Amino acid sequence: MSDTNEITRLLSAHAGGDKEAMPLLFGMVYADLKRLAHNRRASGPRYETLDTTGLVHEAYLKLVGGEGAAGANRGHFFNVASQTMRQVLVDYARAQLREKRGGGVKAQPLDDAQVATNREAETIVAIDRALERLAVESPRMARVFEARYFAGLSTEETGLAVGASQRTTERDWSNARKWLRNELAQGGQPGSTEPAASPP
């Protein structure tokens, strides 16, 4: 895992307005969450969605120092972790779809697990694209959806990540799901807008 002191320093710098801290922090957290995701996925059935809530919390405890971390750091970490888990899941989904297309290898019959994995991958990529469009209309609503769906954060954690009250967060979550459902239906895309992992 990355150096805890460096992660904490970057979180503090980001909280203080340092615009260079976020890309550095994202790179460090991305590598760690991707490693955790790879290990978690390798130990279970391939078609199951990554346990995003567990990954984010595990990374938080290891990187920020657990219960002793400042509340501001916790909120900023959840913000970064939401973006990171979205990228990790979308990367996995795109890799799965590349495998589905064969990459020059002779096609083999698909079993139920592979079909489920392909469907899940298509859903994640479609939602990622739709979420980019939502971010143009309502950046906060898009961030709430990102935190709840991709990172599996609770309402409280999502509120910390986006700097909003619980009531506002719940309203944004509900509205974002409706917006994305309509968007996916109009585009003929598959999938559910339920969280990739059930929030605690």
189 by Cβ neighbours in 10 Å (0-12 / 13-18 / 19+) ranks as middle
Handedness of CA 64, 139, 52, 21 (dihedral sign): negative
pLDDT exceeds cutoff 60 at 112 = no
| CB contact at 8 A, 1 and 63 | yes
pLDDT per residue over 12-55, tens digit each?
887 788 888 878 887 877 877 777 777 766 655 443 556 677 77
What does the alpha-carbon distance between residue 130 and residue 126 come to, in Å, rounded to a whole number? 6
Q: Does the reported pTM lie above 0.75?
A: no
Which has the minimum average pLDDT: 5-19, 50-64, 101-115, 145-159? 101-115
pLDDT per residue over 137-173, tens digit each?
999 999 999 999 988 889 999 999 999 999 999 999 9
Residue with more model confidence, 168 or 111: 168
